[in-house]
Structure 1
Amino acid sequence: MFLFVFVLTVLPVFAGGQSYYCYSPDDIIQIRKSAQTSWGRKILDRIKTDIAERRSHDLTVPVVEGGHIHHYYCDKDGQRLTFDWDKPHAHYCSACKTTYTHVNRFDWAWIYMVHRKNQEYLQACMYAYMATGDLLYVNYIKDMLLDYASKYAAYKEYNAARVISDKHSGKAFAQSLDEATWATYALPSYTVIKKYLTQEEIGKIESGLLRPCAELLLNRPAGANWQMWHNSGLAVLGVALENDSIIDVAMNDPVRGYYALMKKHLKPDGWIDEGSPNYHYFPLQALIHTADVMRCRGINLYNEDMRKMFVAPIKGTYPDLSYPAHSDGWYGASVLSELPIHELAFARLKDPVIETVLEHAYGMTDRTAYESLLTGQDIKPVKEPMIQPSYCYPQSGFLCLRSGAVSSVLKFGGQGIGHGHPDKLSITIHNGEKELISDFGTCAYGLKLYLDWYRNSLPHNMVTVDYKDQNRKALGKLISYEATPNGGRAEAECTTAYSGVRMLRKMNLEGNILDDTFDCASDSVHVYEYVLLFNEKPVFKAGKGQSVVLDESKVHSRIKNVKKYKVGKKVSFKTPSGDLLLKLSEAPVKELLVGEAPGIPALKLAEEGTGAQLCYPVIVRLQGSKNMRISARWTIFNANTNK
């Protein structure tokens, strides 16, 4: 077992550092100046409102360990349960109107939520103090940290299965990952107020909370985004404890340190290699907070790699600044949900591309991120969609064809480490306002739908073979790509998704017309299923349908109310957002299957909702042939095109 012996001696390895802080004196001066502007006062008012809301509830730190947030979702419809401060043992689902009482995993997840709200409270109090100098907020932070220090060491080290373990487990939370995120956001508050504490108070907080948390993270070796967060938490703890030994592990461990992980996981095109926008921005939060904390030790991580990790993904957004939900990415991933770190990046890098995306973001939402106060700059909203040219990420394995507001994304590579889906040569289409066909990403990992539906090949807009998933290690290859003045064209293949089958997809976008051809070739006879997942119910003419039950796999069985139709060489579909004409190659058996299935999942953070939305799968099934070709012509509508 990996074991780190906790070292109190400060190693002289960061000679360039002058002090230990998470926010420099200049930062605090800037925050205070910004808080006196018209735009900054609005943010400060929001901070004060957040603090007042938290203080209207019990401030006592829980005595019981928290659970796993992925267990705080309704089993029936995937909706996140509604957190109620007054009901730790009663959990309401807004979708099905069920109240679950005394369900252990929900009760433990409720405690998780309390710890998260305490994290937000500590961060809000920290910014309120830096913005105003009011010592009232120092006392708020001190009281809560002392309460944590009196209880934290006694927490058992449970994992997500509520089993005591030294692998992946946390203390306040069920995962060391969550422990690290909490430390990253909550514990800079200690460094900000430390000068006001007595030696006795410092001793209690450091021995009761900071050191046990550091010991936990030092003894939880991990990889990829988990270890990036562990390092971020350790960086904060190292600074808080003024211990360069801890910082040295976080930065320089040859396998798990910051530099080693960047070398291993950052792609040349700017994406972290976990296969989705969601799993780019999640570890990027850790990386930028590590960079921010390390400034005090003379370590500059605000370099070209950091700039690239912010600027490059911006070139991959839809016009509304959202992304396709690739792999285990939650649906709704967007620059809008990552504004705090974009504000922090703009404050440190002053990059014009980041400024531009912030301008467009604030044309759609209010500027409320606390980190905005660090910028010292008013951002003028731009209310127009962010229109960009076509763009390709060859190393990360996807590309965006664009014409005005119309976009189509082709995913041909990217395994996503443990978060990847078997989805090579899948596409999405966006009309500038919404997706016509989607990659739905994931629901909560604790739900049965995750393994039975979303994580498989069938719920992706592509071709499956013989009712099976693609080989999960398969990678496609980009054959050609060209951006054009009014769109773009691309061609990609995959020869490893199914043994003995070569798959080829060609796309050409011009204006609001997308031509998309999918070919499969093999020396053997197969069943090919060409799948499209509509968000709007398509209208089509195909004669009289026959009601059938799909039982070819557990994934097929998730499609309900299925009707089967016989089809010829062509079939056309209409939706409010676009028309589609399909041309089909010959096969001994050709069938059109249309039904209903789980579509856009309940959003990760939304406590009010209707659960997973329906999608409308259209499956063209060709049986008895070695080869297959389906050509699609999409006419895509939006507010700027004629229907």
Structure 2
Amino acid sequence: MPASPTIGSSCASSPEAATLPSRTHWNVREGACSLPSRRFQYLREGNPACPRPDARYNKGARPVTQGGDEMSLFAVLGLLAAAASAEEWKAPPIQLPKPLKHPVIAATPEELGRLRAALKATGPAHDAVARVVKQADEALSKPLAFPPRGGQHNQWYQCDKCQLALKTIDDTHHECPRCKTVYSGEPYDDVVYEHQHYAIIRGASNAAWAYALTGERRYADHAAKVLLGYAERYLRYPYHANTRNNLAWKIVSGGHLFEQTLNEAASLSCDLAPSYDLIHDALSQTDRAAIRDGLLVPMLKNMDKHKAGKGNWQTWHNAGMLAGGAVLGDLAWVEKAIAQPHNGFIEQMKVSVSDEGMWYENSWGYHFYTLHAMTLIAEYARRLGIDLWSHPTLRKMYTLPVHYTMADGSLPRWGDDVHASARGAGWLTEYAYAATKDPDLLPLLPQAPYWQSVMLGRDPSTKAEPPILTSRVFRSAGHAILRTRGEAGLTAAFTFGPYGGYHGHFDKLSFVFFGHREELGVDPGRAASQAYRLPIHRNWYKPTLSHNAVLVDKQPQRPACGKLELFVANHEYAAVAASCDEAYPGVCHKRLLVLTPTYLLVVDQLTSDKPRRFDWVYHNRGTTIECDAVKEPGKVPDKFVGLEYVQDIKTGATASPIRAAFAGKTVTTHLTMAGAEETEVLIGDGPCASILDRVPMAVITRHGTQTAFAAVLEPVPIGRRPAVRAVELTGAVVTVHRGDATDQATLSLANELDVTTGGKAVLVTPR
């Protein structure tokens, strides 16, 4: 057993840990999931108010990066003041305009005027608006054919054997790209029907906007035909849910048009209610009553039966209730959406968002997904004369993400996420900027005209300097972002905060690593096909093995929260340490990250109440992994959750220092770990976006009641040699031999950190 460094820890056995449910209770339940990526794309594309952001904004001009300092007294006071202002925020009066003039939520007269003026003009603004009219023309040119029943969740569109997304041959034949099995019938056909429903509703939305801009009756007639068609069919479509076996969940969460109250609410708020709003005055009294009684009210009642409480589901329910209630002139639904105890917008702001503005599910995908609903709620309320934009917590949800931007322009892929960026949400931020004129939002907005900028009256040619990004710690959310200057532009993101619930992962004290404008250390997020119901989600994506973390006894962590021990940074160096004693009862884990201009140092100390197996895991983008400690394929540990998804396994054992190289196309990341007796090494590759998208990984194993790991991750461009020669761990001191220089990091029991280079202090915690 290796000696353990005395990098002191405040960990103690948690009395709450023993009362947590067993891990099996936290397995993903069938069907309890949210928006598939393709459905989110629809929500952005279907309504001109929710377009898909241009790809260039996903990886646009990067903010300027500088170092940071440990959170100052002023920063702490500012955070406390912001929290206090959120507590002191007073809800505005909730009322509807009198008289109620349509459109009431889709746009104001001034906004419609801007869109109409752009349509009559020439240039980029005209093109942005005319694109919607063109899409409406395309919808009118196609025959209108409603699917025979409601749609089904994308999670069912998978091959159960290969755990891969299916390929559509036609409406009733769906093929696995690997084993070539062809699936037919329910639920596979119903996933295709779901996308057909979205296309029909998208066409109706575009037609309603085209009518509002041109006054041409044919557009209103098409939108009315769709709304009346669904009013006739909604209650006739069989009630169904995203589950086959969970009857209780089906009763509360299902729908008729779609399989979840969640996406029925999203469709109502994004498209159906605004479409009705835009063509209201072109409808006869009979048609209005038919749409109200056959579609809008039944959808509202269906989602209202599901009191979801804290979470993205209820936030979308609130958006649906506000939109539906407003266009019907029913104040009760609007009041529910905003002020209902335990469920309304006001409650979500209190319980679902961190002090800094991060959505609690610890996933940027779900942060923006929920922020989409929040944006609709605030914007529709504004058009009703109800000011929700003044809520300080809501504003922070827009300004926070940019501070997490990694070296490649993306955000850390934590929890159930695939890919997100702060600039990719510019279309949401446009509404926040229009309402608040917050200058911090301006650099995140597109610099070419598009629907939102035209409608809301912003001149996109206005220049704004990108924010200067520094190393920062977000104590409430439980994240630290480390940045250093230098050619490599290294960034690392560390998560130690509360468990994110259903869409969170068992990833406490894990990290991701970026450099040379590339993703290096990988968190896989979730499968791109959103395979929530399949074993690969509950046995690979969600558990600990797929993260850059430490496992105990080959098992995933329990839901847990860590504790921040220190954070300190300057322009050249940054460090964070946190501990956790909830993930594994009887085990205390403390992890220190030190980011330098050329490498990331990772130091782990683990202590236990009995002998344990500890597995240090790291995943890095690359084409191959080479390690001097492994030989040929060896014996693979049994009963190791998730290891069944690891391929090309090789194993070995050593007491010497460990060196491994993750070779990529332009960068090779070199791993150097201090040696210790009786160390086992396993290398292979695991899934990322899918089971076919492979990422090299290393697992380094040690045993005992206490152990330690000290490793350096050094990314080097192809053609160059790594500078780090060796890493040594002696007590509380980690020594890194780098070329002719020697770096040392010392962490005391009192969490006092000293980092030196050539004997000169370069990073020191305040004493």
TM-score range, shorter chain: 0.7 to 0.9
User: How big is the shift at 1:580?
Assistant: 2.6
Q: Alpha-carbon deviations, 1:208-233, whole Å to 9, x = none?
A: 11111111122221121111111100
The answer on 1:629 being equivalent to 2:708 is: yes
Report percent identity of matched pairs: 26
The match for 2:155 among 70, 93, 97 is 70
The answer on 1:532 being equivalent to 2:618 is: yes
User: Cα–Cα, structure 1 residues 297 and 579, in superposed 2: closer, same or farther, change >3 Å?
Assistant: closer
Indicate the residue corresponding to 2:85 in structure 1. Answer: none
User: Cα–Cα, structure 1 residues 585 and 497, in superposed 2: closer, same or farther, change >3 Å?
Assistant: farther
Instruction: Note if contact 2:201-2:226 (Cα within 8 Å) is conserved in structure 1.
Output: no
The match for 1:618 among 683, 698, 701 is 698
Indicate the residue corresponding to 1:149 in structure 2. Answer: 231
Query: Structure 2 CA distance, aligned partners of 1:290 and 1:591?
Result: 54
Indicate the residue corresponding to 1:8 in structure 2. Answer: none
Query: Structure 1 CA distance, aligned partners of 2:437 and 2:287?
Result: 39
Structure 1's unaligned 5+ residue stretches are 1-12, 602-610
The answer on 1:414 being equivalent to 2:488 is: no
Amino acid at match of 2:282: Y
Indicate the residue corresponding to 1:375 in structure 2. Answer: 456
Query: Structure 1 CA distance, aligned partners of 2:464 and 2:431?
Result: 22
Amino acid at match of 1:293: Y
Bigger Cα displacement from structure 2, 463-472 vs 506-515: 506-515
Instruction: Note if contact 2:326-2:334 (Cα within 8 Å) is conserved in structure 1.
Output: yes
Indicate the residue corresponding to 1:194 in structure 2. Answer: 280
The answer on 1:593 being equivalent to 2:672 is: no
User: How big is the shift at 1:97?
Assistant: 7.9
Indicate the residue corresponding to 2:189 in structure 1. Answer: 107
User: How big is the shift at 1:386?
Assistant: 7.7
Bigger Cα displacement from structure 2, 567-576 vs 165-174: 567-576
Amino acid at match of 1:614: R
Q: Considering only aligned residues, what root-mean-square deviation do their CA atoms show, in Å? A: 2.8
Query: Structure 2 CA distance, aligned partners of 1:354 and 1:77?
Result: 44
Instruction: Note if contact 1:46-1:368 (Cα within 8 Å) is conserved in structure 2.
Output: no
Amino acid at match of 1:71: W
Q: Alpha-carbon deviations, 1:510-532, whole Å to 9, x = none?
A: 22322221111234221110000
Indicate the residue corresponding to 1:449 in structure 2. Answer: 536
Indicate the residue corresponding to 2:632 in structure 1. Answer: 545
User: How big is the shift at 1:465?
Assistant: 0.8
SS in 1 for 2:235: helix
SS in 1 for 2:405: coil
Q: Alpha-carbon deviations, 1:345-388, whole Å to 9, x = none?
A: 333333333221224xx6xxxx6864343233343599999862
Query: Structure 1 CA distance, aligned partners of 2:161 and 2:406?
Result: 31
Query: Structure 2 CA distance, aligned partners of 1:280 and 1:395?
Result: 15
Q: Alpha-carbon deviations, 1:395-454, whole Å to 9, x = none?
A: 111111112532111111121122221111001111253311211111221222111211
SS in 1 for 2:558: coil
The answer on 1:310 being equivalent to 2:398 is: yes
Bigger Cα displacement from structure 2, 265-274 vs 55-64: 55-64
Indicate the residue corresponding to 1:396 in structure 2. Answer: 477
The answer on 1:322 being equivalent to 2:410 is: yes
TM-score (norm 1): 0.88
Q: Alpha-carbon deviations, 1:186-218, whole Å to 9, x = none?
A: 121111110111111111111111111111122
Indicate the residue corresponding to 2:60 in structure 1. Answer: none
User: How big is the shift at 1:92?
Assistant: 4.3
Query: Structure 1 CA distance, aligned partners of 2:357 and 2:717?
Result: 31
User: Cα–Cα, structure 1 residues 447 and 543, in superposed 2: closer, same or farther, change >3 Å?
Assistant: closer
Query: Structure 2 CA distance, aligned partners of 1:385 and 1:634?
Result: 29
User: How big is the shift at 1:466?
Assistant: 0.9
Matches within 5 A, 1:193-342: 193-223=279-309, 224-303=311-390, 304-327=392-415, 329-335=416-422, 337-342=424-429
Indicate the residue corresponding to 1:9 in structure 2. Answer: none
Instruction: Note if contact 1:475-1:494 (Cα within 8 Å) is conserved in structure 2.
Output: yes
User: Cα–Cα, structure 1 residues 561 and 539, in superposed 2: closer, same or farther, change >3 Å?
Assistant: closer
Query: Structure 2 CA distance, aligned partners of 1:272 and 1:350?
Result: 22
SS in 2 for 1:343: helix
Query: Structure 2 CA distance, aligned partners of 1:433 and 1:167?
Result: 46
Bigger Cα displacement from structure 2, 117-126 vs 453-462: 117-126
Query: Structure 1 CA distance, aligned partners of 2:701 and 2:195?
Result: 46
User: Cα–Cα, structure 1 residues 527 and 38, in superposed 2: closer, same or farther, change >3 Å?
Assistant: same
The match for 2:669 among 579, 593, 604 is 579
The answer on 1:434 being equivalent to 2:521 is: no
User: How big is the shift at 1:169?
Assistant: 0.8
SS in 1 for 2:650: strand
User: Cα–Cα, structure 1 residues 53 and 408, in superposed 2: closer, same or farther, change >3 Å?
Assistant: farther
Matches within 5 A, 1:113-152: 113-152=195-234
Query: Structure 1 CA distance, aligned partners of 2:185 and 2:423?
Result: 34
User: Cα–Cα, structure 1 residues 352 and 492, in superposed 2: closer, same or farther, change >3 Å?
Assistant: same
User: How big is the shift at 1:275?
Assistant: 1.6
SS in 1 for 2:640: coil
Bigger Cα displacement from structure 2, 382-391 vs 625-634: 382-391
User: How big is the shift at 1:391?
Assistant: 2.1
Bigger Cα displacement from structure 2, 565-574 vs 158-167: 158-167
Bigger Cα displacement from structure 2, 146-155 vs 377-386: 377-386
Query: Structure 1 CA distance, aligned partners of 2:613 and 2:344?
Result: 47
Bigger Cα displacement from structure 2, 99-108 vs 475-484: 99-108
SS in 1 for 2:600: strand
Amino acid at match of 1:442: R
Q: Alpha-carbon deviations, 1:128-176, whole Å to 9, x = none?
A: 3444444433222112111111111222221112578431111101111
Query: Structure 1 CA distance, aligned partners of 2:122 and 2:158?
Result: 41
Query: Structure 2 CA distance, aligned partners of 1:518 and 1:500?
Result: 16
Amino acid at match of 1:485: H
Instruction: Note if contact 1:83-1:113 (Cα within 8 Å) is conserved in structure 2.
Output: no
Query: Structure 1 CA distance, aligned partners of 2:304 and 2:659?
Result: 59
The match for 1:506 among 592, 605, 613 is 592
User: Cα–Cα, structure 1 residues 162 and 581, in superposed 2: closer, same or farther, change >3 Å?
Assistant: closer
The match for 1:489 among 560, 563, 575 is 575
Amino acid at match of 1:542: A
Indicate the residue corresponding to 2:546 in structure 1. Answer: 459
Query: Structure 2 CA distance, aligned partners of 1:344 and 1:628?
Result: 52
SS in 2 for 1:627: strand
User: Cα–Cα, structure 1 residues 470 and 381, in superposed 2: closer, same or farther, change >3 Å?
Assistant: farther
Query: Structure 1 CA distance, aligned partners of 2:716 and 2:216?
Result: 54
Amino acid at match of 2:699: I
SS in 1 for 2:556: coil
User: Cα–Cα, structure 1 residues 407 and 122, in superposed 2: closer, same or farther, change >3 Å?
Assistant: farther
Amino acid at match of 1:627: Q
User: How big is the shift at 1:98?
Assistant: 3.5
User: Cα–Cα, structure 1 residues 57 and 76, in superposed 2: closer, same or farther, change >3 Å?
Assistant: farther
Instruction: Note if contact 2:602-2:710 (Cα within 8 Å) is conserved in structure 1.
Output: yes
> Alignment length, in residue pairs?
610
Instruction: Note if contact 2:568-2:576 (Cα within 8 Å) is conserved in structure 1.
Output: yes
